Structure 1
Amino acid sequence: MLDATTLEVHAKAIADIASQVAMRYFRGSLGIEFKQDESPVTQADKAVESEVRRYLRQHFPDHGVFGEEEGQDTGDGRHMWVIDPIDGTRSFLSGHPLFGFLLAHLCDGQTQLGVVTMPALQETFVGVRGKGASLNGKPIQVSDVSRLDEAILYVNEGDKIHRDHAQVFNRLMQAGQTRRFAYDCYPHALLAAGYVDAVVDYDLQPYDYLALHPLIEAAGGVITDWKGHPLTLQSDGAVVSAATPELHAQVLELLAI
């Protein structure tokens, strides 16, 4: 297993590379394709993942890599880097700055590090198991809110939740002191920094949620699937994060299907 300091040094270097590549394309001329699920892929997605993979091949040639665009290489079977080159491609291609870059490192299936970088905002959130969480190098932690009626609640992918689980959506619309609709990784990062108290998310892939797991836990929060189970490569993509165990338990009650 890599030590925490080494992991963090390489993660920050990778985040810098990803940000620089993404910003070369942001609000520029984009070549856009659509996947079979109709989600857009830009030249920027492919360029970011390519450069990150190049770095990982140079420094960790035996490690596995799982990226959104190029799929999975198993490597040594113990170490795995998980990449979402641009989390929020629809935001990116429409000039909206709330797109991110996500990076996770797993050892023997357990997440050890998570990075959320917001290139257009010049913000990098890092969480390392056993070492805490930071934003641009400064320590961060979750809020101490433990009551749902006092919580700032973000609902990600609300249209999909409404489509598939109308009763859950209706319960969420009655919950929290403040509610906001959003997409992608930034609400979870804001939770790690103490600005948001709970986030409900849905229909995610491993490269969407694995980086969030160590970041939020390192900041003192809780993140699981909607049934309260730990997140793994095999999770179903329904995710809930919260600042405190008490708040997490109350949100889980709303999500019972």
Structure 2
Amino acid sequence: MGHDLEAAARVAEAAADVAAAVIRPFFRERIGIVRKGDASPVTAADRAAEKAIRALLSERFPEHGILGEEFGPEREESPFQWVLDPIDGTKSFITGRPSFGTLIALLHEGVPVLGVINQPITGERWVGLAGRPTRFSAPPGLAAPCGTRQDVALADAQLSCTTLDLFTAETRPRWERLAARVAQVTWGGDCYAHGLLALGTVDLVAETTYKIWDWAAIVPVVEGAGGVITDWSGRPLRPGADGSVLAAGSAALHAEALAILSGS
């Protein structure tokens, strides 16, 4: 897509700006523990942000499809599909932790070619385009070079996971075998952990139950930073994926972690 992909990235970043302006007033509203329902502030933030993103994308790319977590699909027949998660990391958001993010992705014939991870509170942003280095921008004090760590042994690796609650009786023992082999496990983070992997401060992320809006934007970001991301069987993440995700900073680390998760 070349030049067109750069143009799409500019629109995606503008959409991230619009969503951030919608989300910020809801942050740390002391909404407490809520069940996501029609009247909750977190849902109000989700829905308002997704509507803002959809409006901008539909204006600039009226022929493209859009799939969002809150409002479902439009124009499913288009080879170009935008995939949106306005607030990935709801539990972090409602407890006032700035480790959630807005995810905006573009898929071409099912392949993620553009991904934006935007943190509306800290101002950190990752932009991944297929075949190009991932770009990271942040305010002074948070700026860092973008690129995964390529020389980390499994025993020295930092593994991130959102929560053990999402594993099943079948997947949890596999994940625990991996966790027993690394230097440290940290918890929480959702999409933010993948952003940190792209910065080289996290080396592995292993999760399950991801929906397409959870992983679509992450794929170009991780790959453009030098990492590898697949499901737990080593397959590329594509529509219809089983929800398992393994991201690693290097191909060698990915292969070693994959062998443990798959039991080979």
TM-score by length of 1: 0.91
Q: Is the 8 A contact 1:42 1:89 kept in 2?
A: no
Q: Is the 8 A contact 1:102 1:115 kept in 2?
A: yes
SS at match of 2:167: helix
Question: 2: distance between equivalents of 1:62 and 1:98?
Answer: 33
Q: Is the 8 A contact 2:105 2:216 kept in 1?
A: yes
Distance 1:243 1:131, change over 3 A: same
Q: Is the 8 A contact 2:164 2:172 kept in 1?
A: no
Picking from 243, 249, 255, the partner of 1:249 is: 255
Deviation digits for residues 5-28 of structure 1 (CA, Å, limit 9, x no counterpart) = 212211211111111111021122
Whether 1:24 and 2:25 are equivalent positions in the alignment is: yes
Partner residue in 1 for 2:146: 140
Partner residue in 1 for 2:141: none
Question: 2: distance between equivalents of 1:214 and 1:7?
Answer: 14
Partner residue in 1 for 2:212: 206
Instruction: Summarize the alignment of residues 77-92 of structure 1 with structure 2, pairs less than 5 Å apart.
Output: 77-92=78-93
Length, aligned pairs only: 255
Whether 1:114 and 2:120 are equivalent positions in the alignment is: no
> Unaligned regions of 5+ residues in structure 2, if any?
139-143
User: Which piece of structure 1 moves more, 119-128 or 23-32?
Assistant: 23-32
SS at match of 2:242: coil
> Unaligned regions of 5+ residues in structure 1, if any?
none
SS at match of 1:3: helix
Q: Is the 8 A contact 1:33 1:42 kept in 2?
A: no
* Offset at residue 107 of structure 1 (A): 1.3
TM-score by length of 2: 0.89
Instruction: Summarize the alignment of residues 46-57 of structure 1 with structure 2, pairs less than 5 Å apart.
Output: 46-57=47-58
Distance 1:243 1:40, change over 3 A: farther
* Offset at residue 164 of structure 1 (A): 4.4
Partner residue in 2 for 1:180: 186
Q: Is the 8 A contact 2:26 2:41 kept in 1?
A: no
Partner residue in 2 for 1:71: 72
> Matched residues, percent identical?
38
Q: What RMSD in Å do the two structures reach over aligned CA positions? A: 2.3
Deviation digits for residues 144-188 of structure 1 (CA, Å, limit 9, x no counterpart) = 134211211112332222654232133133121222122410111
Question: 2: distance between equivalents of 1:29 and 1:158?
Answer: 26
Question: 1: distance between equivalents of 2:102 and 2:88?
Answer: 6
- Which amino acid in 2 is paired with 1:70? F
Runs of 4 or more, structure 1, over 4 Å off, are: 29-33
